[in-house]
Amino acid sequence: MTPNKYHLYELSVQSPDVHAAWLEELYKGLTKKHARHLREDFCGTFKTSVEWVKRNPKNTALCLDLDSEPLDYGRENHLAPLSAEQKSRVKILQKDVLIPTKTEVDLISAGNFSFYIFKQRSLLLKYFSSCKKSLKTGGMVVLELAGGPGMIAPMREKKEVALSKTQKFVYTWHQKSFDPITHDAQYAIHFKLPSGRVMKDQFVYDWRLWTIPEVRDALSEVGFKKTLVYWETAHKGKGTGEYVHMEQGDNSFSWVAYVIGIK
Ligand SMILES: C[S@@+](CC[C@H](N)C(=O)[O-])C[C@H]1O[C@@H](n2cnc3c(N)ncnc32)[C@H](O)[C@@H]1O
């Protein structure tokens, strides 16, 4: 049977338990309070939210995505195994993140560079403003960004990922094009199954690569009180997976960073 593309994607790029723990720690470190109510934007199969509700019986998660396909996959594969009580703390909405949500949350997480889908500055401002309206005072939006020369060079980055104890598949991150004038960039994800069958263009992205200062300026413009950047620490020239607050970064070939807007 052909593995589902969302299953392959999750195995290749996600560590939702690590991310949920990091969000919890980040909020506690910055506010000295516990975050309880998370909104996961562009949630796809909403694995971070499922991990979030498992972490504490007081935690709730609101999951937003426009596409019913990943939401249905998440319902069948991640929501179904939860207890009835845990399920009652997850709310899944097929909804545009540009529209503010009614219940105010402590934290909004936008993972995997997803807000790069907003190419016009007016849309970026609309999204950040909608986040601000949906957050409690003191709440924060956590945006995941990527950049550096290694994010714009035309290339294919491959890695082998375990599918089972005995089988591996190949995940390919394909950087198709980048326009230095518009900062528009096209990417795709392909998989090669253990059988040799290639699943091409399973995920395609048409993004604008916003820079960190542009994002910070936009957050401030819509009224976020403070913005912070969490940058990955390095050891012997390699990323450690640990992110700390920094106001100056090293000129990495490619980087992933978090910009945080505090209401
Ligand atoms: C790159 S995937 C991210 C999946 C997941 N968050 C992750 O970190 O792996 C982007 C998701 O954003 C959703 N999306 C795109 N535009 C959206 C919008 N305006 N509102 C809500 N979801 C949107 C797409 O349907 C897609 O599932």
Other CB atoms within 10 Å distance of the CB of residue 128: 24
Give the residue from 107, 95, 102, 37 showing the smallest Cα distance to 67: 95
Give the residue from 27, 69, 22, 78 showing the smallest Cα distance to 49: 78
Per-residue pLDDT of the chain (263 residues; tens, 9 = 90+): 789 999 999 999 989 999 999 999 999 999 999 999 999 999 999 999 999 999 999 999 999 999 999 999 999 999 999 999 999 999 999 999 999 999 899 999 999 999 999 999 999 999 999 999 999 999 999 999 999 999 999 999 999 999 999 999 999 999 999 999 999 999 999 999 999 999 999 999 999 999 999 999 999 999 999 999 999 988 777 889 899 999 999 898 999 999 999 99
What are the domain boundaries of the chain? 5-148+209-262
Position in ligand 1 atom list of the atom nearest CA 43? 6
The pLDDT score that the predictor gives to residue 14 is: 87
The pLDDT score that the predictor gives to residue 236 is: 77
The pLDDT score that the predictor gives to residue 2 is: 83
Which helix (H) or strand (E) covers residue 9, if one does? helix 5-13
Domain 5-148+209-262 falls in which CATH fold? Answer: Rossmann fold (3.40.50)
pTM, to two decimals:
0.96
74 C-alpha to center of ligand 1: Å? Answer: 13
247 C-alpha to center of ligand 1: Å? Answer: 28
Nearest CA to ligand 1 atom 6: 43
The pLDDT score that the predictor gives to residue 234 is: 85
130 C-alpha to center of ligand 1: Å? Answer: 16
Position in ligand 1 atom list of the atom nearest CA 127? 19
Beta bridge partners of 226: 262
Cα 185-191-192 angle, rounded to 5 deg = 140
72 C-alpha to center of ligand 1: Å? Answer: 14
| Crossing angle (nearest 10°) for helices 47-55 and 16-31 | 60
Pairing mode, strands 255-262 and 90-94 = unpaired
Residues contacting residue 36 through CB under 8 Å, at least 6 positions apart: 56, 58, 59, 60, 106
Q: Which residues surround ligand 1 with Cβ inside 6 Å?
A: 14, 42-44, 64-67, 70, 96-98, 111-112, 114, 117
